Structure 1
Amino acid sequence: MSSVPSGEVAAGPRVSRPLAAAALALLLALQPVCTDVMVPALPVAARELGAPMAAAQLAMAAMILGFGLAQLVWGPLADCVGRRPVLLAGLALFAAASVGGALAPGIGALIAWRALQGAAMAAAIVVARAIIRDLYEPREGAQVMALAQSGLGLIAIVSPALGGLAVGWGGWRAALALMAAIGLAALAFIALKLPETLATRDPRAAAPGPLLAAWRDIGRHPVFVAWALLNACSYGGLFVILSGSSFVYMNRFGLSAGAAGLTVASGSLAFLAGTVFCRRRIAARGMADAVGRGAFFTLAGGAGSVAAAFAGVESIWPWLVAQWLFSFGHGVHQPCGQAGAVGPFPRHAGAASALSGFVLALGSFAIGAWLGAVQGADVRPYALTLGVLAAATATLAWTLVRRLPPPGRP
């Protein structure tokens, strides 16, 4: 018998939709805060610490690796002891790691603190996705997730701009100090406002035997495979933009740290528009239709970047438009992918969320390491990497996801 039953929902505590969306937006926003705020700081940190570009890219990749590996611990633990204890511990650790990174004396210490920062951030992200399954069925959960992602989009719009301003005012260390302040604010909000959402704890959820059995059943479930791969490829493309675009905009086009931050913020506006489109398409036609439409924007963004790189375009505008198109598509794929991957697993939402996040983070780590090795004055590796991931995302949306039965049907 499968250790991962589907289709049952325990009656959890009543949490209003606005409170759930606000809490989810704040928790999920730690991911763009941890990446977007750092985007304009990376080239400055590399220069001031005397580190090569590859080492600076590794500071981003190490954060993603810590994020991916830690989810495999936080997710089952959240099923075992509850959502709130994991959230409070993770947020406190995130703030502490941010302070450590701000005080780092060299690039090696910065990389280590960023890895710990990513591991702490994983608690917020994996529990946020599990909370959606605690409270909602998959289709409604995707709509609430899209609403939360709209709030996240607003935060993401501000994050790179604040990062650029912080770097301009106090250097790259100020960007990490800003992350610490945001982490403490999230900790206070969760401690004061969000109740425990897990109706029934599973004391054996983190035991090796049951956990491995759950992961085995989750990992071979076709619904999980389709949505987790879609989410991972779409986020992988976004990670290319987040980790590589500042070098394109600052080194190729001569933008300042603040201006580079604003270019990333402009992509967040497109992401926000994508989440609004996502909510409307889900309500009208369902999740598969939404991501099928979003894939056209994703593919156009990837193809636009490749065309700009190989045509030798000297204007920044084709790059920006391509970034906006891809970000719009990601605003559709991410809410559906995150809700869809945990949908069949109400009793193991933490484990499913963790496994989905691990796939996403492992891919992003490989992408970050690849970009660090190949990206330099030539912008073509950046553009080609984005183009490949855009094509993969669109292919998944038009094949594996389209073949899935609607949520609630076998």
Structure 2
Amino acid sequence: MHSSLFRTALVLGLLSAIGPFSIDMYLPALPQIGADLGAAETQVQMTITLYFLAFGVSQFLWGPMADAWGRKPPLVLGICLFALGSVGCAFAPSLGWLLAARFVQGIGGAAVGVVPRAVIRDRHTGVEATRLMALVMLVIAVSPMLAPLAGSAVLAFGGWRLIFGTLVAVAAMSLLVTLFALPETLAREDRVPVNLRSMARGCRVLLGDPAFLGLTFVGAFGFGSFFVFIASASFVYTEHFGLSPTGFSLAFAFNALGFFAASQAAAPLAQRFGLVRVMRLALGGFAGAALLLLGLAWAGFGTLAVLMGVLFVANAFLGLVMPATFVLALEEHGDIAGLASSLGGTLQMVTGGLLVTLLGPFFDGTPLPMVAGIALCAVLALGIGLLVLRRPLASLATGH
């Protein structure tokens, strides 16, 4: 592996991890936040949903900015907004204040969600881009494995407000990485001015591309399954199964491990068998595992061991799908990679946020509603995937 590829993956992975870190780190504190601010479970879950919605909608702004100004300026501005929102969360006197600060945090976090994908498209396409995306995801894997544990340690030491203070420090480090370790990958002559006409023209191209839309929504419902899990797991694991914040962090890390470990096999398998075949089989495995878990939970066998074990398998299959959906959705749109990345990210995050909002009233702290939501996402992802991949397009089949 070339050292430059690894260095790029490390830098982009560290930046991309800001968004997930801002969620995963405070998950162990959700019950404490509710008790401290006098909020019910569904109200506390809105701090996750609102972040997702802000993250999703604002991506539509960051992408065109990245196409017009280059990749680095939007990253710097976004990280600064993320830090400002984190300060607001740390000093929030009420749930309303916390929700507003999380919204600002989500707007800033969106910049580091959309721009790194455009950077990857600037440098690579096909299997090589899938390999780089998988490496980026490997770096991001530090977040769900370590962030909840770090949040539990901070929670024990100084309470939930200190968690958001820690995120301010994370933002400061990310700013330094952006300024001094990330090169500008979009040449001045390749930049596209921000104007409504060019954005509308680009959106018409993207929304008229069935492959782009299909792959985007495969990713949307794949991510949606994570959003459902994130919104309800802390209550299910701590209140239903009686785990401590540290125990929940370990269980959460185990469930995430399957996804990120499998994502590293995406590029080699795609190179050997073709992206279409790998995605079809992986989507089938994801849906099959999710439906199996739903059946077990419905029949009364939804123990902690069963939940963790089958979710590990389901997430492993999903890990084979997600890197390819990111890469293939942008494959034919290199000239508007920033807009394509932002529109795709907006559709995915808004879809996930709406899913959590719609399913939220059914979450009661028990495993069955959470598992049913994950199974619904898996079936929708499989159905859309089979439709968009039914014709073996040359670029999809070969990965080039």
Is the structural similarity TM-score above 0.5? yes
Indicate the residue corresponding to 1:325 in structure 2: 313
What does residue 281 of structure 2 align with? 293
Which residue of 97, 108, 116 maps to 1:109?
97
Q: Percent identity?
A: 28
Aligned residue among 325, 329, 334 for 2:322: 334
Task: Name the structure where helix makes up a greater proportion of residues.
Answer: 2
Aligned mates of 1:33, 1:378 — CA distance in 2: 25
SS at 1:16 equivalent? helix
Q: CA deviation at 1:121?
A: 0.7
CA contact (8 A) 1:164 1:260 kept: no
Pick aligned residue for 2:203 from 184, 208, 215: 215
1:21: which partner in 2? 9
Answering whether residue 356 of structure 2 is matched by residue 365 of structure 1, we say no
SS of the equivalent of 1:350 reads: helix
**Cα gap change, 1:129 to 1:15, in 2 (>3 Å):** farther
1-side partners of 2:209 and 2:254: how far apart?
37
1:389 maps to which residue?
A: 377
Contact 1:223/1:404, CA 8 A, preserved across alignment: no
User: Is the alpha carbon distance of 1:157 and 1:129 closer, same or farther for their aligned partners in structure 2, counting shifts above 3 Å?
Assistant: same
What SS does the aligned partner of 1:407 have? helix
| SS of equivalent to 1:197 | coil
Report the CA distance between 1:17 and its aligned residue. Answer: 0.9
**Equivalent position SS for 1:336:** helix
Q: Which residue of 1 aligns with 2:62?
A: 74
**Is the CA contact 1:87–1:123 (under 8 Å) kept in the aligned structure 2?**
yes
- 2:127/2:267 contact within 8 Å kept: no
| Structure 1 counterpart SS, 2:395 | coil
> Given that residues 227 and 353 in structure 2 are in contact (C-alpha distance below 8 angstroms), is that contact kept between their aligned partners in structure 1?
no
Q: Distance in 1 between matches of 2:390 and 2:160?
A: 44
Match of 1:147 among 135, 159, 166: 135
Q: In the TM superposition, what is the alpha-carbon distance from 1:203 to its structure 2 partner?
A: 5.9
Alignment partner of 1:193 out of 167, 181, 190: 181
| Structure 1 equivalent of residue 41 of structure 2 | 53
Q: 1:30 to 1:401 in 2, by over 3 A?
A: farther
Q: Distance in 1 between matches of 2:317 and 2:219?
A: 11
Distance in 2, matches of 1:228 and 1:182, equals: 29
Which consecutive residues of structure 2, in runs of 5 or more, have no partner in the other structure? none
Distance in 2 of aligned mates of 1:357 and 1:201: 26
Tell me the distance in 2 between the aligned counterparts of 1:377 and 1:347.
46
Residue aligning to 1:398:
386
CA RMSD of aligned residues (A): 2.0
Deviation at 1:223, TM superposition (A): 2.2
The letter for the 2-side match of 1:297 is G
Q: CA deviation at 1:351?
A: 0.3
User: Which is worse superposed, 113-122 or 362-371?
Assistant: 362-371
Task: Work out whether 1:276 is the aligned partner of 2:241.
Answer: no
Contact 1:301–1:321 (Cα < 8 Å) also in 2: no
C-alpha distance 227-249 of structure 1, shift in aligned 2 (>3 A) = same
Corresponding letter in the other structure for 2:72: R
Rounded to whole Å, the distance in 2 between the matches of 1:350 and 1:114 is 24
The answer to whether the Cα contact below 8 Å between 2:232 and 2:365 also exists between their aligned partners in 1 is: no
Mapped contact 2:70–2:184 kept (Cα < 8 A): yes
Query: Size of the alignment, in residue pairs?
Result: 397
**Cα distance, 1:402 vs structure 2:** 4.6
Partner letter of residue 69 of structure 1? V
Match of 1:261 among 249, 254, 264: 249
Distance 1:37 1:357 in 2: 22
Equivalent residue for 2:331?
343
Q: 1:204 to 1:145 in 2, by over 3 A?
A: closer
- Point out the more displaced range, 400-409 or 378-387: 400-409
Higher mean alpha-carbon deviation, 291-300 vs 332-341, is at 291-300
Shift of 1:15: 9.7
* CA distance in 2 between partners of 1:295 and 1:164 (Å): 34
For residue 324 of structure 1, what is the amino acid of its counterpart? F
Q: TM-score, normalised by structure 1?
A: 0.92
1:133, 1:247 → 2: CA distance? Answer: 39
Please say if residues 295 and 393 of structure 1, whose CA atoms lie closer than 8 Å, have aligned partners that are also in contact.
yes
After TM superposition, give the deviation of residue 378 of structure 1 in Å: 4.5
- 1:352 paired with 2:340, answer yes
Q: Which is worse superposed, 376-385 or 192-201?
A: 376-385
Structure 1 unaligned residues grouped into runs of 5+: 1-13
- TM-score (norm. length: structure 2): 0.94
State the alpha-carbon separation in 2 of the partners of residues 259 and 231 from structure 1. 29
> How many Å separate the matches in 2 of 1:350 and 1:121?
16
